[in-house]
Amino acid sequence: MTLTSRALKSVGNLPPTPNTKLKHLTSELEKQKNENDDLKNSISDLTKALAKLEMVNDKVSASDNHFNPVNVNKKIMNKKDSNAPRPCTSAYKYYCDGIKGKSDRDLTVTDLRQAWKDCPKEVRKAYLDMAAADKKRFELENKEYQESIKHIQIEETALLDYYEKQKQDMAMEFYEAHVKAQEILNKKKKTKKDPEAPKRPLSSYMIFTQEKRETVLKQNPGASITEISKILGKEWSKLEKGKGGKKGTKKYDDLAAKAKARYDLDKEVYDALRAEEDVKVEEVRQIKLVKDKEEAMKLLTERQDKFSLTEPRSKEEKSVEKSVVKVKKQGPKKSSSAYNCYVSQNAALIKASLGENATTQEAMIELGSRWRTLNDDDKIPYIEMALKDKKRYEVELEAAKSKATQA
C-alpha cells in the first residue's frame, strides 16, 4: 500500500467532527418532533371520535326505556278501563232490583223469572222505557268513549313511528361515529397498490446501477450493501451529464426516456380502463340505488297501511279504486322518457353501424354511451318528444278513468 493510499484511508476513517454530530442530532430531533406532532394529532382526533362514540352510547342507554314499545298503548291494552261507560241496564234487571228492594224474603232466580212473566203490561212498559232511556245514555257515552280511544290509538301509533325514527337516527349517528373512528385508526395505513397498474419507469441512475452492480460486487467481495451503493454513487458522479460515450450519461438518459414513454402509454391505457370500470361500477350502484328506493317506498307503504286508523272506505270508494287500478293495468301505453325517444330514433342506425354480428345488448350499451356524451342542446328534441308523449298519456288515461267509472 502506497503512502498516499494510506493517508487517504486514514482520512476516511477520521471521527466525525462536532459540527457533523450537531447537524445529525438536529436532524434526528426535528424528525422526532414531527413524529410526535403527528402522534399528538392522531391521539387528539381519536379522543374526539371515542368521545363521540361514548356520547352516542350514553344516549342509547338513557333512551332504552323511553323507546320501549311495551310501554306504549298500555292504557289501550288494559281490559278494564275506568273511563269506559257503564253498560246499559236491561228492563228485566231494573225489575229484579225493584222487586228485591220491596220483598222481605230472598227471591230465587226462578221466582224472579216467574214474576217477570206474570208482570202486567203496564208495569212491564215502565221498565222497558227505563231500559230504552239507559240504552240511549250508553250509546251516547260509548260514542264519545270510542272517539277518545281512537284518538289515543292514533297518538300512540304516531308515537311508535316517532320512536322508531329516533332509534334509526341514533343508530345512524352511532354508525357515523364508528366510521369516523375507523378512519382515524386507519389513516396511516398505506393504500394497497393495484397489481394491474403499470410499474413506474426507472431513472437513468437506477438503470446505471443495475448495469454496474455485478461488476462492482466482483471488484469488492465482502462489501456491504451500503458500501456498494456508495461506490456506485461515486462512479455515477464521475460521468458527465448528458454527454455521450463511456464517460457520459446519455446512454442511460436515452434508456430512461424510452422507459418513461412506454410507462406513459401503459398508464394512459390503464387510466382509460379504470375510468370505464368506474363508470360500470357507478351504473351498477345507481341501478341498485333505484331498486333500494323502490323497496324502501314499498316498505313505507306497507307500514302506513298496517298502522292506518282511518275510517273504512265505502263501497263506492272501493269501486272507484278498483276501476283506477284496472285502468292502470289495461289503460293506455305509458309515456316515454327522453332517453327512450332517443333510443327509438337511433337504435336501428347504431346497430347497423356496429355490424351484423352485433347483439342487442352491445347496441344498447353503445346507445347509452352516446346519450351520455350528448350536450343539453342535442337532447332538447328528445325532451320535447317526451313532453308531448306525456300529455298524450295523461289525456288518454283520464278518458279511460271516466269510461271505467261510468261502466
Rounded to 5 degrees, φ, ψ at 333 are -65, 135
Please report, for the chain, the start and end positions of each structural domain, with discontinuous segments joined by +.
59-186, 195-282, 312-406
Helices 250-307 and 121-186 cross at an angle (nearest 10°) of 170
User: What is the dotted CATH code of the domain comprising 59-186?
Assistant: 1.10.30
Residue whose C-alpha cell is 330514433: 345
Q: Which of 142, 140, 162 is nearest to 66 (CA)?
A: 162
- 153, 76 contact by CB (below 8 A): yes
The class of domain 195-282 in CATH terms is mainly alpha
pLDDT per residue, tens digit, the chain (407 aa), is 444 444 434 444 444 555 565 666 777 777 777 777 777 777 777 777 667 666 666 665 555 544 454 444 444 444 567 778 888 889 888 888 887 777 666 778 887 888 888 888 888 888 899 889 999 999 998 888 888 888 777 877 777 777 777 777 776 776 777 777 777 666 655 556 777 788 888 898 898 888 888 888 888 888 888 888 888 888 888 888 888 777 888 888 899 899 999 888 888 888 888 888 888 888 888 887 777 777 777 776 766 665 444 444 555 555 555 555 554 456 678 888 888 888 888 888 888 888 878 787 778 888 888 888 888 788 888 888 988 888 888 888 888 877 777 76
Q: How far apart are CA 382 and CA 389, in angstroms?
A: 11
Distances (CA, A) of 141 to 88, 148, 150, 318: 10, 11, 14, 31
Distances (CA, A) of 251 to 212, 241, 397: 13, 10, 79
Asked if the domains 195-282 and 312-406 are classified in one and the same CATH topology, the answer is: yes
Query: In sequence order, which ranges of 331-375 are alpha helices (DSSP H)?
Result: 338-354, 360-373
Query: In sequence order, which ranges of 118-220 are alpha helices (DSSP H)?
Result: 121-186, 204-219
At residue 89, the 3 state secondary structure works out as coil
Which CATH superfamily includes the segment(s) 312-406?
Answer: High mobility group box domain (1.10.30.10)
